[in-house]
Structure 1
Amino acid sequence: MNLTNRAVTLPLWAILYFVLGYFSHKFNGPFTAAGYIWLPAGVTVAAFMLAPMRRWLGLGLAFLVAQMLLGMVEGRDAFRMLLFSLDEIGFAALAVAVIHLTKFSLEGLAFLRGLLLAGVIASVGGAVIGAGWFWLFLDVPFWATAKVWAAADFVGVLIVTPVFAGWARFRAARSGGRQPGEFFFGLAALACVLATAALVFDGTRIAQLSLGVAYALTYIPLFFVAIVALLLGGRGGSVAVALLTVLVLVNTAQGDGPFAETALYHGDSLLIAQLYLAVAALLTLLINTLRTAREQTNAQAAARQNDVELALAASGQLVYRLDPHSGRLRWSGSVERALGLHDSALSTLDDVLARVHPDDRAEVRRRWLRECDGETRGDLTFRLLLPAGATTTIVDMSGPLLDGDDSVALIAGAWRVIASHDTEGRRAA
């Protein structure tokens, strides 16, 4: 990142911090010590995760300016805002520094593990220091403040950080990537998240339902969030959780929805909403982790298969597996390149034997179908009547795999193409 990019990035992070902080305070309503929602916690953790450590000082100063400006806009005590900024921003940086000591990555299980660890360190550390200060100097109960503070920060990290971490790695997909059907079904599921969340958490639409039914309906948006994560991956899932967060918090803060109906006071309803959103975020992260692990495994398997295919093609070899009971063969390598035939033309033992030179056919049949008696099995050289009007000399290197009763379960082997002759009378060169 050059100087110009940094000049744009730092103000952008500060603006995101300020905007999410402003709306967090709007959702919270009046509070003395700790707000029930604090989304900027996810902004600070995401920024420190995505930036190299040498740029953390600039990020910290940008967040400090944003927090002080937020305090000025809302008429809060400047000294308290300064202490709050140092507490929150400092522990976010410490949390990310700790996870960098582990095998941290922005993908897969390493990201989920790192995110949870960073969330716990940042939220608990900030809550202990912040609540301790209020307890010592303002005689505010420590535990009541600390649990609200920690919950707000932790859920803020779970909801906001995956959005920035996922989209920071976004690259335009090449053709042949995600299937169009998956993409459009994913968009439909995202629309269902919005529709069902608006229906369930708008008190005017569910007022005629019992409270138990209203609570049961809150599972429906979670179902569609899971579908979005499965079809659109981690980025789509994080966006679904972010949109769900907006709808849940806006309606709950206004006193609508099942959470507001059951809470004794405003803070309780927001804490219940926090728990609900934390479950949604963790569900999405888990699905994305499993999906990423599967995709990485499939990519590695495909890469290994491609390497094998290239090696076989370069060496003029074919690898096969023969089931002696059914007579079916499965080939690896390019049969068409080596022999001029499609794989299906040599899919059974009878297909192969029909193309073996008559003088060699009995020996090839015995080699593949005889019972294994434990003797050392050498290579076999034989001729194929391929291409038409010519012969191709093949060296077969194979051996049986035995079942527990010492019967042949399958035969695995390789063919090496030695030479092709225009007439069948010539010997291999």
Structure 2
Amino acid sequence: MKKSGSERYYLVLYLSVWSVLYFALGYFSLLIDDPASRVALVWFPAGVAVSAFLSSQRKHWLLIYIVLFLTRTLLDVAVRHSIGTSFAISLVSLTCDLSVAWSVVRFAGHADDLRKAVVWLIAVCVFSAVAALAGTSWLSMQNGISIAHSISIWWAANVVGNIMVTTVLTGLLRGGGPSLKLRWRSALAGALLTAVSTVLIFTLPPFREDEVGLIYTLACLPVLITVIIPVISGNRAGALVYTLFCSIAIYFSWQQIGPFFIKGLRHGEPLLVAQCYLAGTALLMIFIRIQTDSVQKGQAAARHAVGETAYCLDTTTGVINWDPMTPPGMEKIISAVGSREALFALVSPSVKADIASRWQSALTANNIDEEYRFPLPLADGEELAITERNLVCLPGPHGTVLIGYWSLSQPLITLKTG
């Protein structure tokens, strides 16, 4: 009963977070709508809704749909629409978002990340077009707005909002990357460079029509800085820096300042270029993230194939636990080295001192990247050449634990005795 109550509490909290985020971004989206069509130029809640569905179990989808539907209806009523219009627009919008999530699960649920991204992008474009036709048709009947003018705005707003917000939320939820110290040092430097370069680009004096190539080339500078952050600082840092980049670009674009407001462009075209600019950056980040994750998974598989395994040393008890996925050739090590004392009993005094020194350094510095090679004699006369790398210090259930990786650096050597 207690567990059931706890589950309900976390479910309510989970739904509340998504609802608040949906309302906040929806309110901001409606502040920057198109005055003529009353359609948001970028609909950020679309990405919130799709992320909410994809990050939760399917048994909760109906509940999420209802909560976000009520949130969307309340938002429209509070800002500008009648109850009937709010109800209809909420139905169209949330059904579109649910359809996108369903398509990803149905056609790429167990596929690799690249296929998931492609299916997601196609579904966003297709269902956004259907929703744009249905939504603008309703608004045309109610308010007499032009369908031809509004349908493209609705479609672009939904697609761009999906791409931008999903990029940020998936980056925050996935995490991953180098060590914490390296991540945040490089992330802070990247955030500063992104902010400075974006502000400089968007505050340059107006350019002539014959200088379009130059200004668009300069506009690529903050994009390059932004997309490299996930590679060197991890997905979460990349998501936050991308949010900073988008905030600056949206602020200046809404003030009709920046590289996209060039003489010769017709009304609405600069904002469309800005939408493509931000969405293109997000897509580039997504595919770089997929490629980076794929390389890391391939490296991990290669390490496993050549006989690498991870160990966890509880520094308080001295117990050493090994990765249950034992590669071939490492079974004897795991059976022989079950504790700190067992390891020290096998190695020579000099190796014992080196290992103890590395562990102490890891406790102080939290991370050691340098490799260390040493011989490990076993009781049956075999001697293994071990390479240890990536020694990390983390908090554990009983105190501090050390995580390290061992691999066989050369074939086994048999010492003949007797």
> What does residue range 162-181 of structure 1 map to in structure 2 within 5 Å?
162-170=167-175, 177-178=178-179, 180-181=181-182
RMSD: 3.3
CA, structure 1 residues 52+118, in 2 after alignment: closer, same or farther (shift >3 Å)?
farther
Consecutive unaligned residues in structure 1, runs of 5 or more:
317-331, 345-412, 422-429
Whole-angstrom CA distance in 1 between matches of 2:221 and 2:413: 59
Mean alpha-carbon deviation: is it higher for 222-231 or for 67-76?
Answer: 67-76
CA change 1:57–1:263 in 2 (3 A) is farther
Identity of aligned residues (%): 23
How big is each residue's C-alpha offset from its partner over 1:277-336, in whole Å with a ceiling of 9 and x where there is no partner? Answer: 1110011011101000001111111222221340475899xxxxxxxxxxxxxxx99675
Is contact 1:127–1:150 with CA below 8 Å preserved after alignment? yes
Indicate whether 1:310 and 2:330 are aligned. yes
Aligned residue among 21, 28, 33 for 1:23: 28
How far, CA to CA, are the matches of 2:66 and 2:207 in structure 1? 50
Q: 94, 97, 100: which one pairs with 2:99?
A: 94
State the distance in 1 between where 2:49 and 2:163 align: 12
- SS for the counterpart of 1:258 is coil
What is the Cα deviation at residue 208 of structure 1? 6.5
Residues 360-397 of structure 1, C-alpha deviations (whole Å, 9 max, x = no match):
xxxxxxxxxxxxxxxxxxxxxxxxxxxxxxxxxxxxxx
- Alpha-carbon distance change, 3 to 221 in structure 1, aligned in 2, over 3 angstroms: same
Aligned to 1:146: 151
Farther off after superposition, 83-92 or 130-139: 130-139
What residue number does 1:220 align with?
Answer: 221
Within 5 Å, give how 1:313-332 maps onto structure 2: none
Equivalent of 2:113 in 102, 108, 112 = 108
Deviation at 1:26, TM superposition (A): 1.7
Answer with 271-280 or 1-10: which moved more. Answer: 1-10
Note the C-alpha offset of 1:36: 1.7
How far is 1:249 from its partner?
1.1
How far is 1:86 from its partner? 0.3
**Larger radius of gyration between Structure 1 and Structure 2:** 1
Number of residue pairs aligned between Structure 1 and Structure 2:
331
How far apart are the structure 2 equivalents of 1:343 and 1:333? 5
Q: What secondary structure sits across from 1:101 in the alignment? A: helix
48, 51, 69: which one aligns with 2:53 = 48
Counterparts of 2:77 and 2:52, CA distance in 1: 23
Q: Which residue of 2 aligns with 1:420?
A: 417
Alignment-mate amino acid for residue 161 of structure 2: G
Report if the CA contact (8 A) 1:183-1:231 is conserved.
no
- The 3 A distance-change label for structure 1 pair 333 and 313 is farther
Q: Deviations over 1:171-206 (max 9, x none)?
A: 8x8xxx53744542233122211111122123xxx1
Tell me, what secondary structure is at the counterpart of 2:261? helix
The 5 Å alignment of 1:25-424 reads: 25-104=30-109, 108-135=113-140, 140-170=145-175, 177-178=178-179, 180-181=181-182, 183-202=184-203, 206-207=204-205, 212=212, 213-262=214-263, 264=265, 267-304=268-305, 305-306=307-308, 307-311=327-331, 337=378, 417=414, 419-421=416-418
TM-score under structure 2 length normalisation: 0.70
After TM superposition, the score normalised by the length of structure 1 is: 0.68
Q: Distance in 2 between matches of 1:189 and 1:249?
A: 19
Gapped regions of structure 2 (runs ≥ 5): 1-5, 309-326, 337-372, 388-409
Amino acid at match of 1:298: Q
Cα distance, 1:257 vs structure 2: 0.8
